[in-house]
């Protein structure tokens, strides 16, 4: 296809490098430096999509970040990404894009029927349409809407791209590289400040790339190039293009998304796709410029209607004519600048100016080169369906209420300028209370909240001279404060054309008998009549009007629609705009890829993986691992074709009959030292600790202040003032913080110190009737008899030359010991235990068998200590001291905690002794009771008892104390199960606890 | 993200800290009778202040010290920070 609308020798693109791309399956050509939008316009393609609600044809409205229409689905390197603005996407060889919001195709769209339906999807259609009959919603409306609506399709494939996060500090962060950003960056850099200058576009310079001005006897563009080139050589300056600062957060933290690879056909090896910068800046200068606002008229969404500044940018930057027969509709001088550019390139525009007798340098220039200008004239409506073919125009009365006779004139595009709206999003995000500036009919930043300052057009300053002056001054002043350097920078002289005042006119009245749609929000299809309906229905607050009509709620955040929406509300409500107020701007300023937000923290990198020193051995011996917090623990050691159930049963049985060994390295360990260590334990645990002798361990339960069990574990007195505490794997970090809290803040007078030693020790539990024989062989020089090392005893010995700590404690309920050695010797210890244990038929066992063993014994763990239970609920009340005070004790007197029918742990056995009981099931009295069936309790943990060879569960049951022997039902609607059960004691095996003491 | 001055380590980002609630809450003394109301106030009842709020933070990924932070709940401005044992004037 020929480049119909490209002009020779104009623009900043590289005409030597031709690029081939596809849009909706059709092949086109563009050049290096094009955006997808400019390349399509060069090929005469104006129809790029369908609108969100009415599926009206959509073209290009802007040339950058403000674009509300031209959103495409991009295909790049076998990946696809939705919600891409064609005006921002740079062209690369082989680019493929498709329209969104259209089905089956952009030229013939079924959804466009919405446009002709009598019920025209008015304001609030999300709330009031399609609500009845209900069954229609699921079968007809929703599938239809889903197919027809949406702004593209998210890929469901794993994203192969890489995204990085970067943390930076700087003195000055400058958002925007237009005249203001360049000036302040340059002044600050000269003072030696650490500067980051961010530009969202590929090219630096902002408005200087398209405006007809002179700075320091150079064109604006040349001056910008010179400044950037110099900044790039300075070591204290970081200059970033394709980088959008999208969020301004607390304490001068800003986040910037750098597009590293989006302009390339594929991401280079070892490069990220995007890089998210978290920047903590001492000072922030917001030089984000302004966005032209539209004037509202009939059918103003027709492809070919666009901002006049966009038409100028397509011409000057890309050498593309958006039309050969342009109509320019303006209320200020900016439209003339665009008209002059057209005229310079041999195209004759017509200018309609809503003002009566405007006079200025620019207007004179336009007149002098023979541009056709009609004053007090407006566009009433655009005509043409998929593209502007003509325009209905009319003169307008001075009060802007009466239209003259309507004429129809031929044109192929309508370039609109309704004056300029400062881009105040970042300032507003920082907490700045913005204020309305009458002279420009727009909001500008008010009092700074954080260390931010807004300059240039973003601050409502539209004179270049004034912008340079204030920006150089701000850059100098702020950097001087930080670096204490005061290097003078000369402000260059500026030549610019003075402009005349704009017209406070923003919406063309409807001619009599016509009912044209006049759009305010182009992305969400919100028209003037929608806002009128919302107000008629009683919505007053601008925040409510916004949500009811969805005005400004699309992905463009109303960049082109907000102010006109406010003007309309203020007009109908007869209020001034500042009294209506504007809605709050929130980050992100532009859509940010989820991948960029997530960064490298995906898959294995989402959290650290902790492995015990014996991990390699487990791997070699067919362990199947399970996540236990951040740890990987063996769940069972697979033999042959065993499944989890078979394997864990075998392992548990072997513990009950011979001896097993379990890796317990993951248990939290805290070293406690100091003369008041015992007193600390005595206050933290519910039971008494002051009389624990050296060389003895004790089981303890700790509560939160609200009486709920926080954690349990054993603590051993290693020497006079030295204790070794163990916690559950999951609560290790919380318990440490808890102890530090009380030592540092509540009882600083206690002389004790705590430190985590979880990683310093490797632990192995050996359990089973033959564990003592094994221990004796491992430590032949020690007396490990029941008298030598009694239950809850502790000793130190030497394991083949390695220092070892031996605790006689048991979680499995069997005769058991725990051996700790320094982590580096963990694997040595494990291999020795396996080697020496062979004659006792030792087998390693995983967490599944460990669970089985503890459940059978009625020992509580995380599933019972679930943040909702007190000691009584877990049958631990014998550990609650009546004599001394401790953390949470007072809460145990709460009425609910001492109620007669208080919940309590019980055992549950199915009557058929066969059916496994799903964890989380509810216990009910009557399986056939009407819903909601009163719940008496829940199943906290289930196992297959290896002792009795039938299923066994633990449950927390209301009035559990008096329920032993009762018959209830277990119900699991999720698994569709109803199981008749009997309630038994939670101590299912060895209820007197004789084995651990044997 | 807040930028918090740890009195022991200096300016550090919020991600290094964990929040610990109202710093003005005093735990009733051990082994003393406490009324239901006083205990309730200690365990559960907190003011939801708008404005300056003295709160506890722990520098969990740093020096592990609990510190007191004076923060405005409506603006997030941090005016002062204190060590655990420092008196707040
Ligand atoms: Zn610190």
CATH code of the domain covering residue A694: 3.30.1360.120
B45 phi and psi, to 5 degrees? -80, 120
User: Would you call A25 exposed, middle or buried from its count of C-beta atoms within 10 A (0-12, 13-18, 19+)?
Assistant: exposed
Task: Answer yes or no: is pLDDT of A750 > 70.
Answer: yes
Q: Hey, are the CB atoms on B58 and A740 less than 8 Å from each other?
A: yes
Same domain, A464 and A365: no
> What span, in angstroms and rounded, lies between the C-alpha atoms of B4 and A995?
54
Give percent above pLDDT 90 in chain A. 82
How far is the alpha carbon of A461 from chain B, nearest alpha carbon, in Å? 28
Which strands sit side by side in the sheet containing A802-807, from one edge to the other? A794-799, A802-807, A816-822, A761-767, A660-663, A843-844
Q: Read off the pLDDT of residues A139-185 as tens digits, 9 standing for 90 and up.
A: 655 665 555 555 678 888 888 899 999 999 999 999 999 999 999 99
Region A447-465: mean pLDDT is 96
Q: For chain B, list the domains and their CATH numbers.
A: 1-25+48-89 (3.30.2270.10)
Q: Read off the pLDDT of residues A901-925 as tens digits, 9 standing for 90 and up.
A: 999 999 999 999 999 999 999 999 9
Same domain, A407 and A434: no
* Better-scored residue on pLDDT, B10 or A71: B10
Per-residue pLDDT at A447: 92
A133 preceded by cis ω (within 30°)?
yes
In angstroms, what is the C-alpha Rg of chain B?
14
A56 secondary structure, DSSP code: -
Tell whether A244 is covered by a domain: yes
Same domain, A19 and A70: yes
Distances A728 to A87, A734, A805, A939, B54 between C-alpha atoms, Å:
56, 10, 19, 21, 32
CB within 8 A of A57, min separation 6: which ones? Answer: A47, A49, A50, A51, A106, A302, A303, A385, A386, A387
Per-residue pLDDT at A583: 73
Which of A725, A627, A608, A615 minimizes the C-alpha distance to A663? A615
Categorize the per-residue pLDDT at A971 as very low, low, confident or very high, splitting at 50, 70 and 90. very high
Per-residue pLDDT at A466: 97
Q: Hey, are the CB atoms on A706 and B28 less than 8 Å from each other?
A: no
Helix (H, G, I), strand (E, B) or coil at A752: coil
CA of B83 to the centre of ligand 1 (A): 10
By the CB < 8 Å criterion, does B19 face chain A? no
Q: Which of A71, A106, A125 is the last residue of a domain?
A: A125
Two structure tokens written together for A708 = 């709920």
Categorize the per-residue pLDDT at A549 as very low, low, confident or very high, splitting at 50, 70 and 90. confident
Same domain, A271 and A316: no
Q: What pairs with residue A84 in β-bridges?
A: A72
Q: Read off the pLDDT of residues A849-906 as tens digits, 9 standing for 90 and up.
A: 999 999 999 999 999 999 999 999 999 999 999 999 999 999 999 999 999 999 999 9
By the CB < 8 Å criterion, does A601 face chain B? no
Task: Answer yes or no: is pLDDT of A738 > 50.
Answer: yes
Nearest to A253 among B1, B34, B64 (CB): B1
Task: Answer yes or no: is pLDDT of A117 > 70.
Answer: no
Same domain, A564 and A577: yes
Same domain, A298 and A286: no
Tell whether A850 is covered by a domain: no
Pairing relation of β-strands A372-375 and A350-353? parallel
Per-residue pLDDT at A116: 54
Pairing relation of β-strands A326-330 and A413-417? parallel
Q: Hey, are the CB atoms on A251 and B78 less than 8 Å from each other?
A: yes
Q: Hey, are the CB atoms on B84 and A744 less than 8 Å from each other?
A: yes
Tell whether A628 is covered by a domain: no
Q: Which of A125, A153, A183 is the last residue of a domain?
A: A125
Q: Read off the pLDDT of residues A358-401 as tens digits, 9 standing for 90 and up.
A: 999 999 999 999 999 999 999 999 999 999 999 999 999 999 99
Interface-testing mutation among B8, B38, B39, B67, with chain A (most A C-beta atoms within 10 A): B39
Task: Answer yes or no: is pLDDT of A286 > 80.
Answer: yes
Is residue A763 within 8 Å of A820, Cβ to Cβ?
A: yes
Region A659-679: mean pLDDT is 98
Q: What is the CATH number for A559?
A: 1.10.10.1100
Task: Answer yes or no: is pLDDT of A696 > 50.
Answer: yes
Region A93-101: mean pLDDT is 91
Q: Hey, are the CB atoms on B27 and A746 less than 8 Å from each other?
A: yes
Same domain, A811 and A702: yes
Residue A225: its H or E element: helix A220-233
Q: Read off the pLDDT of residues A801-848 as tens digits, 9 standing for 90 and up.
A: 999 999 999 999 999 999 999 999 999 999 999 999 999 999 999 999
> What span, in angstroms and rounded, lies between the C-alpha atoms of A678 and A657?
38
A727 secondary structure, DSSP code: E
Task: Answer yes or no: is pLDDT of A1 > 50.
Answer: no
Categorize the per-residue pLDDT at A105 as very low, low, confident or very high, splitting at 50, 70 and 90. low
Which strands sit side by side in the sheet containing A218-219, from one edge to the other? A218-219, A214-215, A494-495
Q: What is the CATH number for A922?
A: 2.40.30.110
Q: What is the CATH number for A349?
A: 3.50.50.60
Residues lining ion ligand 1 (Cβ < 5 A) are: B 6, 8-9, 59, 62-63
> What span, in angstroms and rounded, lies between the C-alpha atoms of A818 and A669?
13
Give the 3-state secondary structure of A362-427. HHHHHHHCCCEEEECEEEEEEECCCCCCEEEEEEECCCCCCECCCEEEECCEEEEECCEEECCHHH
Distances A942 to A116, A627, A909, A921, A937 between C-alpha atoms, Å:
62, 19, 10, 10, 14
Per-residue pLDDT at A840: 98
**H helices, E strands: number in chain B:** 1, 6
Residues of A in contact with B19 (CB under 8 A): none
> What span, in angstroms and rounded, lies between the C-alpha atoms of A6 and A294?
25
By the CB < 8 Å criterion, does B35 face chain A? no
Task: Answer yes or no: is pLDDT of A127 > 60.
Answer: no
Task: Answer yes or no: is pLDDT of A118 > 50.
Answer: no
Two structure tokens written together for A885 = 């005070």
Q: Hey, are the CB atoms on B43 and A746 less than 8 Å from each other?
A: no
The predicted complex's ipTM stands at 0.98
Categorize the per-residue pLDDT at A559 as very low, low, confident or very high, splitting at 50, 70 and 90. confident
Is residue A439 within 8 Å of A504, Cβ to Cβ?
A: no
Same domain, A408 and A426: no
Angle at A398 between CA A396 and CA A401, to 5 degrees: 60
Q: Which of A577-586, A703-712, A914-923 has the lowest mean pLDDT?
A: A577-586
Tell whether A938 is covered by a domain: yes
Region A241-261: mean pLDDT is 97
Tell whether A374 is covered by a domain: yes
Is residue A953 within 8 Å of A943, Cβ to Cβ?
A: yes
Q: What is the CATH number for A50?
A: 3.10.20.440
Tell whether A870 is covered by a domain: no
Q: Domain tally for chain A?
A: 6
Per-residue pLDDT at A590: 92
CB within 8 A of A206, min separation 6: which ones? Answer: A176, A177, A178, A179, A181, A199, A224, A287, A289
> What span, in angstroms and rounded, lies between the C-alpha atoms of A528 and A741?
59
Pairing relation of β-strands A420-422 and A290-292? antiparallel
Categorize the per-residue pLDDT at A261 as very low, low, confident or very high, splitting at 50, 70 and 90. very high
Question: Which domain, by its residues, includes A902?
Answer: 894-992
> What span, in angstroms and rounded, lies between the C-alpha atoms of A517 and A519?
6
Q: What pairs with residue A26 in β-bridges?
A: A23
Task: Answer yes or no: is pLDDT of A356 > 80.
Answer: yes
Q: Hey, are the CB atoms on B3 and A251 less than 8 Å from each other?
A: yes
Per-residue pLDDT at A119: 47
The full DSSP string for A118-161 is SS---TTHHHHTT-SSHHHIIIIIHHHHHHH-SS-----S----
Q: Which of A363, A390, A418 is the last residue of a domain?
A: A418
Nearest to B31 among A431, A705, A885 (CB): A885
Q: Hey, are the CB atoms on B3 and A706 less than 8 Å from each other?
A: no
- Number of neighbouring beta carbons within 10 Å of residue A310: 25
CA of A572 to the centre of ligand 1 (A): 57
Tell whether A3 is covered by a domain: no
Residues of A in contact with B20 (CB under 8 A): 741
Write down the H helix ranges in A26-178.
36-42, 113-116, 125-128, 134-136, 142-148
By the CB < 8 Å criterion, does A706 face chain B? yes
A732 phi and psi, to 5 degrees? -55, -50
Same domain, A72 and A53: yes
Two structure tokens written together for A232 = 């790039």
Same domain, A285 and A298: no
Same domain, A173 and A201: yes
Per-residue pLDDT at A191: 98
How far is the alpha carbon of A745 from chain B, nearest alpha carbon, in Å? 6
Same domain, A383 and A437: no
Task: For chain A, give the mean pLDDT.
Answer: 93
A316 phi and psi, to 5 degrees? -80, -35
Task: Answer yes or no: is pLDDT of A2 > 60.
Answer: no
A676 phi and psi, to 5 degrees? -100, 15
């Amino acid at each position: 296809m020929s480049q119909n609308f490209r002009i020779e020798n104009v623009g900043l693109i590289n005409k030597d490098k031709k690029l081939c791309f596809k849009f909706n399956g059709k092949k086109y050509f563009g050049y290096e430096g094009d955006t997808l939008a400019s390349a399509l316009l060069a090929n005469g393609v104006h129809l790029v999509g369908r609108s969100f609600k009415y599926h009206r044809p959509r073209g290009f409205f802007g040339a950058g970040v403000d674009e509300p229409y031209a959103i495409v689905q991009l295909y790049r390197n076998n990946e696809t990404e939705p919600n891409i603005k064609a005006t921002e996407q740079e062209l690369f060889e082989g680019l493929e894009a498709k329209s969104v919001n259209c089905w089956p195709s952009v030229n013939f769209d079924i959804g466009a029927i919405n446009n002709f339906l009598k019920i025209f999807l008015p304001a609030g259609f999300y709330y009031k349409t399609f609500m009845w009959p209900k069954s229609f919603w699921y079968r007809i409306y929703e599938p239809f809407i889903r197919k027809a609506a949406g702004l593209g399709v998210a890929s469901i494939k794993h994203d192969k791209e890489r995204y990085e996060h970067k943390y930076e500090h700087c003195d000055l962060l400058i958002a925007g590289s237009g005249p203001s950003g360049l000036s302040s960056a340059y002044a600050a850099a000269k003072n030696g400040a650490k500067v980051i200058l961010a530009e969202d576009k590929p090219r630096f310079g902002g408005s200087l790339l398209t405006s007809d001005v002179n700075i320091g006897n150079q064109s604006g563009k040349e001056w910008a190039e010179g400044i950037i080139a110099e900044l790039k050589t300075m070591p204290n300056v970081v200059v970033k293009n394709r980088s959008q600062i999208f969020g301004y957060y607390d304490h001068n933290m800003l986040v910037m998304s750098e597009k590293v690879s989006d302009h390339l056909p594929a991401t280079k090896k070892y490069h990220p796709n995007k890089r998210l910068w978290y920047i903590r800046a001492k000072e922030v200068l917001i030089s984000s410029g302004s966005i032209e606002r539209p004037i509202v008229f009939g059918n103003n969404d027709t492809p070919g209607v666009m901002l006049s500044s966009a038409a100028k940018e397509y011409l000057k930057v890309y050498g593309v004519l958006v039309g050969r027969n342009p109509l320019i509709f303006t209320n200020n001088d900016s439209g003339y600048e665009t008209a002059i550019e057209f005229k310079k390139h041999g195209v004759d525009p017509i200018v309609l100016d809503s003002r009566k007798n405007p006079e200025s340098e620019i207007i004179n220039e336009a007149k002098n080169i023979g541009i056709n200008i009609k004053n007090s004239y407006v566009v009433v409506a655009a005509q043409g369906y998929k593209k502007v073919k003509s325009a209905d125009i009319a003169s307008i009365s001075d009060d802007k209420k009466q239209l003259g006779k309507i004429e129809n004139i031929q044109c192929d595009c309508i370039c609109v300028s309704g004056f300029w709206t400062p881009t105040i999003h970042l300032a507003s995000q920082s907490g700045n209370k913005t204020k309305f500036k009458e002279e420009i009919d727009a909001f500008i930043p008010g009092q700074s909240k954080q260390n931010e300052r807004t300059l240039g057009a973003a601050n409502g300053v539209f004179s270049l001279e004034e912008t340079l002056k204030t920006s150089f001054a701000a850059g100098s002043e702020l950097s001087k404060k930080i670096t204490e350097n005061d290097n003078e920078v000369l402000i260059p002289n500026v030549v610019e054309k003075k402009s005349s005042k704009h017209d406070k006119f923003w919406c063309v009245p409807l001619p009599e008998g016509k009912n044209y749609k006049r759009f305010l929000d182009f992305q969400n299809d919100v028209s003037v009549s929608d806002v009128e309906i919302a107000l008629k229905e009683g919505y007053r607050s601008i925040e409510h009007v916004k949500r009811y009509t969805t005005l400004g709620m699309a992905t463009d955040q109303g960049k082109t629609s907000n102010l006109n929406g406010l003007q309309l509300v203020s007009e109908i409500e007869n209020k001034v705009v500042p009294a209506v107020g504007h809605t709050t701007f929130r980050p992100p300023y532009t859509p940010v890829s989820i991948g960029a937000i997530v960064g490298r923290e995906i898959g294995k990198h989402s959290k650290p993986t902790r492995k015990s020193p014996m991990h390699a051995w487990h791997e070699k011996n067919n362990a199947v691992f399970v996540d236990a917090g951040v740890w990987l623990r063996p769940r069972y050691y697979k033999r042959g074709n065993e499944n989890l159930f078979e394997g864990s049963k075998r392992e548990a049985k072997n513990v009950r009959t011979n001896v097993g060994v379990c890796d317990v390295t993951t248990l939290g360990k805290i070293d406690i030292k100091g003369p008041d260590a015992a007193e600390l334990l005595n206050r933290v645990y519910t039971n008494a600790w002051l009389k624990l002798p050296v060389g003895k361990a004790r089981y303890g339960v700790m509560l939160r202040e609200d009486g709920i069990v926080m954690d349990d574990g054993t603590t051993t007195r290693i020497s006079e003032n030295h204790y070794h505490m163990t916690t559950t794997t999951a609560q290790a970090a919380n318990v440490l913080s808890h102890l530090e809290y009380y030592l540092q803040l509540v009882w600083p007078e206690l002389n004790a110190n705590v430190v985590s030693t979880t990683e310093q020790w490797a632990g192995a539990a050996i359990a089973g009737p033959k564990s003592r024989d094994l221990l004796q062989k491992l430590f032949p020089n020690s007396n490990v008899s029941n008298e030598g090392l009694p239950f809850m005893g502790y000793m130190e010995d030497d394991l083949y030359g390695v220092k070892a700590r031996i605790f006689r404690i048991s979680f499995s309920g069997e005769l058991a010991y725990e051996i700790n050695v320094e982590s580096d010797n963990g694997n040595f210890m494990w291999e020795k235990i396996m080697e020496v244990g062979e004659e006792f038929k030792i087998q390693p066992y995983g967490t599944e068998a460990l669970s089985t063993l503890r459940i059978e014994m009625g020992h509580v763990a995380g599933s019972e200590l679930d943040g909702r239970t007190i000691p009584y609920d877990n049958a631990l009340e014998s550990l609650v001291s009546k004599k001394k005070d401790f953390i949470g004790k007072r809460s145990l007197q709460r009425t609910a905690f001492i109620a007669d029918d208080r919940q309590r742990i019980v055992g549950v056995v199915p009557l058929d002794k066969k059916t496994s009981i799903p964890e989380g099931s509810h216990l009910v009295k009557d399986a056939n009771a009407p819903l909601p069936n009163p719940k008496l309790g829940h199943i906290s943990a289930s196992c297959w008892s290896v002792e009795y060879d039938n299923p066994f569960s633990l449950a927390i049951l209301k009035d559990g104390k008096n329920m032993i022997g009762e018959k209830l039902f277990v119900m699991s609607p999720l698994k569709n199960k109803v199981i008749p059960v009997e309630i038994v004691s939670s101590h299912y095996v060895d209820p007197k606890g004789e084995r651990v003491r044997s | 993200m807040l930028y918090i001055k740890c009195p022991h380590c200096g300016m550090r980002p919020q991600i290094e800290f964990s929040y610990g609630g109202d710093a003005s809450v005093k735990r009733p003394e051990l082994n003393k009778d406490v009324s239901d109301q006083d205990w309730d106030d200690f365990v559960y009842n907190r003011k939801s202040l708008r404005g300056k709020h003295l709160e506890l933070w722990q520098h969990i990924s740093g020096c592990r010290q609990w510190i007191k932070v004076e923060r405005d709940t409506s603006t997030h401005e941090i005016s002062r920070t204190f060590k655990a044992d420092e008196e707040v004037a």
